[in-house]
Amino acid sequence: MTPDTVSTMSSGATGPRRTRQGFVLVAAHTLWLWLLLTPAAAIARGQVHPAPPAAVGLVVFALFYLALVAVPVADLPVRPAVHHAGLVAFALLGVGLAVAYAGGPEGWLVVFVYVTAAGAVAFVRVAWGFGWVGGSAAAVLVIGVAHRLPATETAQMALITVLAGALTLAFARTARLVEELRRTQRELARTAVEQERLRFARDLHDLLGHTLSLVVVKAEVVRRLAPTDPQRVVAEATDIERIGRTALAEVREAVTGYRERSFARELDGVRTALADVGIAVSVRGVDRPLGVEADDAFGWVLREGVTNVVRHSRASRCDIEVTADTDEAVLTIRDDGVGGRPRYGNGLRGLTERLAQAGGTLHVAPARDGGLLLTARLPHAPTGRWAS
Considering the domain architecture, whether residues 331 and 227 belong to the same structural domain is answered as no
pLDDT at residue 241, rounded to an integer: 83
Find out whether 144 and 109 touch, Cβ atoms under 8 Å: yes
Per the prediction, the chain carries an average pLDDT of: 79
Decide if 7 is inside a domain. Answer: yes
Considering the domain architecture, whether residues 162 and 233 belong to the same structural domain is answered as no
Q: How many domains does the chain have?
A: 3
Residue 6 confidence (pLDDT) above 80: no
Bridge-based pairing of strands 328-335 and 280-284 is unpaired
Considering the domain architecture, whether residues 126 and 179 belong to the same structural domain is answered as yes
Element (H, E) at 210: helix 151-225
User: Three-class SS of residue 54?
Assistant: helix
Comparing 241 with 330, which gets the higher pLDDT? 330
Of 237, 259, 281, the residue at which a domain comes to its end is 259
Considering the domain architecture, whether residues 147 and 204 belong to the same structural domain is answered as no
Q: Which domain holds residue 344?
A: 263-379
pLDDT digits (tens, 9 = 90+) for 82-133: 888 999 999 999 999 989 888 776 678 989 999 998 888 888 788 888 899 9
Comparing 1 with 119, which gets the higher pLDDT? 119
Identify the CATH number of the domain in which residue 220 sits: 1.20.5
Q: Please compute the mean of the pLDDT values over residues 22-47 and round it to a whole number.
A: 77
pLDDT at residue 352, rounded to an integer: 86
Q: Please compute the mean of the pLDDT values over residues 311-316 and round it to a whole number.
A: 82
Rounded distance between C-alpha atoms, residue 112 and residue 158, angstroms: 9
Comparing 90 with 242, which gets the higher pLDDT? 90
Residue 2 confidence (pLDDT) above 60: no
Considering the domain architecture, whether residues 8 and 144 belong to the same structural domain is answered as yes
Considering the domain architecture, whether residues 316 and 221 belong to the same structural domain is answered as no
Confidence of residue 5 (pLDDT cuts 50, 70, 90): very low
Decide if 384 is inside a domain. Answer: no
Most confident of 23-32, 220-229, 246-255, 290-299: 220-229
> What DSSP line would sit under 332-368, residue for residue?
EEEE-S---PPP--HHHHHHHHHHHHTT-EEEEEE-T
Decide if 220 is inside a domain. Answer: yes
The 372-379 sheet, strands edge to edge:
280-284, 317-324, 328-335, 372-379, 361-366
Decide if 85 is inside a domain. Answer: yes
Considering the domain architecture, whether residues 123 and 247 belong to the same structural domain is answered as no
Residues in CB range of 32: below 8 A, 6 or more apart: 2
Considering the domain architecture, whether residues 45 and 149 belong to the same structural domain is answered as yes
pLDDT at residue 287, rounded to an integer: 65
Residue 361 confidence (pLDDT) above 90: yes
pLDDT digits (tens, 9 = 90+) for 374-386: 999 998 754 333 3
pLDDT at residue 163, rounded to an integer: 92
Considering the domain architecture, whether residues 197 and 82 belong to the same structural domain is answered as no
Decide if 387 is inside a domain. Answer: no
Considering the domain architecture, whether residues 305 and 366 belong to the same structural domain is answered as yes
Look up the pTM and report it.
0.49
Considering the domain architecture, whether residues 45 and 76 belong to the same structural domain is answered as yes
Beta-ladder partners of 319: 282, 334
Helix then strand count (H, E) for the chain reads: 12, 5
Of 170, 186, 202, the residue at which a domain comes to its end is 186
Q: Please compute the mean of the pLDDT values over residues 258-275 and round it to a whole number.
A: 72
Confidence of residue 311 (pLDDT cuts 50, 70, 90): confident
pLDDT at residue 274, rounded to an integer: 80
Decide if 388 is inside a domain. Answer: no
Of 206, 238, 259, the residue at which a domain comes to its end is 259
Confidence of residue 321 (pLDDT cuts 50, 70, 90): very high
pLDDT digits (tens, 9 = 90+) for 160-177: 999 988 888 888 888 788
Rounded distance between C-alpha atoms, residue 120 and residue 122, angstroms: 6
Q: Please compute the mean of the pLDDT values over residues 208-222 and round it to a whole number.
A: 74
Least confident of 55-69, 107-121, 346-360: 346-360
Decide if 89 is inside a domain. Answer: yes
Bridge-based pairing of strands 328-335 and 317-324 is antiparallel
pLDDT at residue 253, rounded to an integer: 64
Identify the CATH number of the domain in which residue 348 sits: 3.30.565.10
pLDDT at residue 335, rounded to an integer: 92
Rounded distance between C-alpha atoms, residue 44 and residue 54, angstroms: 10
Considering the domain architecture, whether residues 170 and 212 belong to the same structural domain is answered as no
Least confident of 7-11, 232-236, 251-255: 7-11
Decide if 385 is inside a domain. Answer: no
Find out whether 284 and 347 touch, Cβ atoms under 8 Å: no
